[in-house]
Structure 1
Amino acid sequence: MNLKEVLRSTIKEAVISIFEVNLPEVEFQPTRKDFEGDITVVVFPMLRHIKGNPAQIGQQIGAYLEETVDVVSGYNVVKGFLNIVIDDSFYLDFFNGIKDSTDYGYVVNTSNDAVLVEYSSPNTNKPLHLGHIRNILLGYSVAEILKASGKKVYKTQIVNDRGIHICKSMLAWKKYGNGETPESTGIKGDKLVGNYYVAFDQTYKAEVAEMIAGGCAKDKAEKEAPILLEAQKMLRKWEAGDSEVVALWKKMNQWVYDGFDVTYDNLGVDFDKLYFESDTYLLGKDVVADGLEKGIFYKKEDGSVWIDLTDEGLDEKIVLRSDGTAVYMTQDIGTAIQRAKDYTDIGGMVYTVGNEQDYHFKVLFLILKKLGFSWADSLYHLSYGMVDLPSGKMKSREGTVVDADDLMEDMTTTAANISEELGKLEGYSETEKQGLYQMIGLGALKYYILKVDPKKRILFNPEESVDFQGNTGPFIQYTYARIQSILRKAESGEQVFDMESLKALRLHEKEKELIKQLQLFPETIQLAAENYSPALLANYTYDLVKEFNSFYQQVSILGELNQDKKALRVQLSKKVGEVVQSAFKLLGIEVPDRM
């Protein structure tokens, strides 16, 4: 039982004993720096259940705690706030209990239910871009945090590998490609295919302009441009299984998959299973037919099938067109059900998708619930805001989107330039420098994106993200490297302290504050998992590092003459480093041993 649980239980006992009242909840907060104490009980909410003066109520509860709980060494009351002083022995015992733990903060999976986390889910007609990066980093980190919180997790994506957009790239390559390949050009496969998507668009716009100039109405020109009609014909051939079109589709999609794999590898993310829209786009039609029989859906005069969600504050939603073809909603219904069949232990699914799809997922989850699936109550849309860049920064060669590979390369270059200016890497070989630049650059990118609450829009500033001061990835990485330097300089052999000797001494305020911060790590993982928010973990890590730097500046570590104190401080430094490394691992960020 942790300290809060002990105090909560004892405070409830005190209230029953003194006031003969059952108190439903106890509210705690950290003690303000200008008052003595380690944890504060807020008395004001108790007044709903206990009549009296809040200061007097606090005094009575404080006296009960001091007499009953061994680790409570004192208390003071400021108006309606009971500040409790915890004995140093509690913090020493706590730290002694975690210092050798290799998986501190992590919970072993004890649940039979698994969670499936979907992220990335790109189209195969262009490379991954900045929007995908936020999606991928969020989804991957949430999956890792859920695992650390004690859940079994499956990581997945659905690749949008079919449709008119894919055919546009295919047709342009067929017309203008002259048989070129990623191997013959040296161009990454997803970028090569993306170039042909742009080429299609250029031809299409030119044809539309020519038709309009010839007297054709704009709407008609946009619908009947020759290259668009050819692409639509190619799509129909694909749907009919035309061997030549399918072979081209497979070849070009493979180029894209190979390109995606390189990007995912550079980002340090992975998946347990891939789903492909070409396999799933017909799923859900049988479910709709079944739901129609049960009265969940209804058919309109033109033969289209709908669901009426107006009673739930939504609108009517089409699930099958009048010609019997599926819409995206139909496919998503079918895919969710297929995943539950593939993974029979799934108890919930997390969809990492931008906030422009908020309404879609409200409808999807409600439909699945109406269809009677028990896991539908455990579906979650991890909705996130867009990422903007300062104008003119890091545009891709087409000048339209920010390419993910280009962004990562630019981040490494930015890290190199700033590191060189600061002179932080003297004595490094060129190979070591390049590895470190990449670690710093990617760490800066990932941390800058993940430290922001997912729902908020981000203005991403590359140079600001690579600052070695403030709430940034490099600042935290630099502190970790500083800790490793301290550990290397510490005397050889295990730093062991004698608990009884230490208990005879007072803990320095900074030692105690650092142990308090370490105490918060397990509950921060749980909070981040419950809220699907890596930002909570990122900002906890920054707070821990700030506390360590304050500790480092105000106490002597290696120069401490008392050997037990010195050993404690070295061990404290080591544990902070381990927690930083663990937290950053959950964010998908590496930390350097020296910097």
Structure 2
Amino acid sequence: MDFITQAAVKAVKELFDTDITPADINLQETRKEFEGQVTIVTFPFTRFSKKSPEQTGQVIGEYLEQNLAEVSSFNVIKGFLNISLSSTYWLEAFNTQILKDDFAVAKPNGQKVMVEYSSPNTNKPLHLGHVRNNLLGFSVAEILKADGYEVIKANLVNDRGIHICKSMLAWQKFGDGETPESAGIKGDHLVGKYYVIFDKEYKKQIEQLTETGQTEDEAKKNAPLIKEAQQMLQQWEAGNEEVINLWKTMNGWVYAGFDATYNSLGVDFDKYYYESDTYLLGKDIVDEGLASGVFFRKPDGSVWIDLTADGLDEKLVLRADGTSVYITQDMGTAQLKYDDFGMDQSIYVVGNEQDYHFKVLFLILDKLGKSWAKGLYHLSYGMVDLPSGKMKSREGTVVDADDLIAEMNMTAKTTTEALGKTDGFSDADKIALYHMIGMGALKYFLLKVEPKKRLLFDPNESIDFQGHTGPFIQYTHARIRSVLTRAGLDFGSKTDTTDLDPFERDLILILSKLPENISMAARDHNPAIIANYVYEVAKAYNKFYHEKSILQAEDETQKKFRLQLSSATANVLKKGMCLLGIDVPERM
């Protein structure tokens, strides 16, 4: 509200003969318990007004009321000048901004950003941790797009290494030719099954060796299974045709499984990177760092960087035998991504257990003089916990994403049917609705909390049509669509009403805040800002809906306006939920 800021600057000049800048005006949203929509903090002005904060607010308020047509009234509470804006102002904002098709559609800002998320391993299915990762990454990407960024959604797949060979070896030894088709299960679950089998058989061998007198550490190294897995990895790296073909086959099973899960979650990617293509990258960067003196070589031939002056420690960047470590690969992949897309920002969506790793990676790239290193950002997030005893996985350790999705769909079905919200739906429509509600509940629950916070996810709590939940917002949208359908008329693209009551004004006020909430969420990489905003919109509409008659309004002008207001609210709810990756139903 620049016009208020500018008018306040002018008021201070004329009333107190003092020059200030717009930055000196502290403009806030008026607290709910007071009348008004905009508040100016007057305490800073007392040093030159030579009046109390209340008197200062009073004279500034009188000036604004006399000189700004948009100001209808004001009140002063201590050092806070609360300003009420006129119905004319809010109706103008409604007509010229909120009702427009391009409302909250930002113009391209010329900035390009990559958001890397998911990053699964191809030896097991996606799990609950991956769910938060995928939903967070997808939502941040959509929010950045809405704020005018060009966005590339990337997925770096960990498709090689000893853990992949463990699944391959176990299938070779114990699989008897089993395939996803013959087993009747998804490919990622089949491969995960053999990863678990490897672990069980490996533990048996360790136990047998310890019984012969070996220490546990010795047994872990000497167990025949682990030696065979290590040999298989060496064969893979040497390009052994048989091993490579098995690797391609089993990874193909996993990718088909992942695609089905991604489809159920409603997430997608523009670019895939594979560790099998990138694991040798980074060695040129190590040579670069040695030549510039950023890295140093120890007597055993290993290469390090000393970060003690930065409050960290010494970090290995290349082993003595010349093989890469994770940081080597990550340096090379970061360079590859920049070479591919030349983005201004690169966001890594990775759990908070990797906070130190990314601090080191970004610092190293900066010390190497990479111009793009300043644009690297680690979007760190906390773990997701489940109530004790809820939704155990097949292995009793982590919850598979597919199991979670199935559980959410079933919970949505039970809750929705109990409330009688599917009357008149075909069986196919019911299935689609249960999935929409189940996924809406899951996504909203995980995204309404700031990413850095650890959270406890309870499926039953997330599906509540009256609480701070996705289904409450979905139901509000369906309610509005029902009102508009029943109206059955063309209510125009511009309102002719001249006055607003507080419920209508409050609803317009909160609708007008969608663009600023998108910008804040993009700036902070925080979908919770959007999630909590759309909840406030839904609450404001339900207050309006219960207090004001829409279809039985006093006259046709008022009826058309309230229908326009309802339609605009539905559009804002849909846009906001879409930024969270959540669909909203037309009816419920």
- TM-score normalised by structure 2 residue count: 0.97
1:14: Cα distance to partner?
2.0
Query: Does the 8 A contact of 1:496 with 1:564 survive in 2?
Result: no
- Mapping 1:14-93, distance limit 5 Å: 14-19=11-16, 20-23=18-21, 24-47=23-46, 52-93=51-92
Report the CA distance shift for 1:564/1:16 in structure 2 as closer, same or farther (over 3 A): same
Query: Does the 8 A contact of 1:21 with 1:50 survive in 2?
Result: no
- The one-letter code sitting in structure 2 at the alignment partner of 1:105 is A
2:424 to 418, 427, 434: 427
* Cα distance between partner residues in 1 of 2:87 and 2:105: 25
Q: Deviations over 1:178-227 (max 9, x none)?
A: 11111222211111000000000010001111111222221111111110
Q: Deviations over 1:470-529 (max 9, x none)?
A: 110111100100000000111423346653xx22xx311100000000011100000000
1:528 aligns with 2:521: yes
- The one-letter code sitting in structure 1 at the alignment partner of 2:273 is Y
Query: Does the 8 A contact of 1:190 with 1:259 survive in 2?
Result: yes
Percent identical across equivalent pairs?
57
Larger mean Cα displacement after TM superposition, 4-13 or 153-162 = 4-13
2:545 to 544, 552, 559: 552
2:367 to 359, 366, 370: 370
* Cα distance between partner residues in 1 of 2:150 and 2:415: 40
Query: Does the 8 A contact of 1:495 with 1:567 survive in 2?
Result: yes
- 2:568 corresponding residue in structure 1: 575
- The one-letter code sitting in structure 2 at the alignment partner of 1:261 is D
Query: Does the 8 A contact of 1:124 with 1:253 survive in 2?
Result: yes
- 1:316 corresponding residue in structure 2: 314
2:468 to 468, 471, 479: 471
1:15: Cα distance to partner?
2.0
- Mapping 1:37-436, distance limit 5 Å: 37-47=36-46, 52-111=51-110, 113-344=111-342, 346-436=343-433
What is the DSSP-based 3-state SS (H/G/I as helix, E as strand, rest coil) of the residue aligned with 2:347?
A: strand
1:66: Cα distance to partner?
1.8
Query: Does the 8 A contact of 1:495 with 1:570 survive in 2?
Result: no
- The one-letter code sitting in structure 2 at the alignment partner of 1:300 is K
What is the DSSP-based 3-state SS (H/G/I as helix, E as strand, rest coil) of the residue aligned with 1:390?
A: coil
* Cα distance between partner residues in 2 of 1:249 and 1:123: 13
- 2:512 corresponding residue in structure 1: 519
Query: Does the 8 A contact of 2:491 with 2:561 survive in 1?
Result: no
1:36: Cα distance to partner?
2.6
Query: Does the 8 A contact of 2:70 with 2:88 survive in 1?
Result: yes
Q: Deviations over 1:74-109 (max 9, x none)?
A: 222111000112111000111111354223212021
What is the DSSP-based 3-state SS (H/G/I as helix, E as strand, rest coil) of the residue aligned with 2:567?
A: helix
- The one-letter code sitting in structure 1 at the alignment partner of 2:553 is E
1:589: Cα distance to partner?
0.5
* Cα distance between partner residues in 2 of 1:381 and 1:95: 38
* Cα distance between partner residues in 1 of 2:300 and 2:522: 46
Query: Does the 8 A contact of 2:115 with 2:349 survive in 1?
Result: yes
1:52: Cα distance to partner?
4.0
Larger mean Cα displacement after TM superposition, 382-391 or 215-224 = 215-224
What is the DSSP-based 3-state SS (H/G/I as helix, E as strand, rest coil) of the residue aligned with 1:507?
A: coil
What is the DSSP-based 3-state SS (H/G/I as helix, E as strand, rest coil) of the residue aligned with 2:346?
A: strand
* Cα distance between partner residues in 1 of 2:25 and 2:245: 66
- 1:484 corresponding residue in structure 2: 481
Larger mean Cα displacement after TM superposition, 223-232 or 25-34 = 25-34
* Cα distance between partner residues in 1 of 2:48 and 2:287: 55
Query: Does the 8 A contact of 1:353 with 1:383 survive in 2?
Result: yes
Gaps (5+ residues) in structure 2?
Answer: none
Query: Does the 8 A contact of 2:444 with 2:470 survive in 1?
Result: yes
Report the CA distance shift for 1:51/1:339 in structure 2 as closer, same or farther (over 3 A): farther
- The one-letter code sitting in structure 2 at the alignment partner of 1:472 is T
* Cα distance between partner residues in 2 of 1:186 and 1:584: 35
Report the CA distance shift for 1:34/1:353 in structure 2 as closer, same or farther (over 3 A): closer
Q: Deviations over 1:7-61 (max 9, x none)?
A: 1122122223333132433222222334332211112244577654211221222
1:134: Cα distance to partner?
0.1
Larger mean Cα displacement after TM superposition, 582-591 or 485-494 = 485-494
Query: Does the 8 A contact of 1:129 with 1:402 survive in 2?
Result: yes
- The one-letter code sitting in structure 2 at the alignment partner of 1:516 is L
Query: Does the 8 A contact of 2:99 with 2:494 survive in 1?
Result: no
* Cα distance between partner residues in 2 of 1:464 and 1:498: 40
Query: Does the 8 A contact of 2:99 with 2:493 survive in 1?
Result: no
* Cα distance between partner residues in 2 of 1:70 and 1:459: 50
Larger mean Cα displacement after TM superposition, 294-303 or 130-139 = 294-303
1:382: Cα distance to partner?
0.6
Larger mean Cα displacement after TM superposition, 94-103 or 285-294 = 94-103
Query: Does the 8 A contact of 2:283 with 2:324 survive in 1?
Result: yes
Report the CA distance shift for 1:476/1:324 in structure 2 as closer, same or farther (over 3 A): same
* Cα distance between partner residues in 1 of 2:60 and 2:329: 59
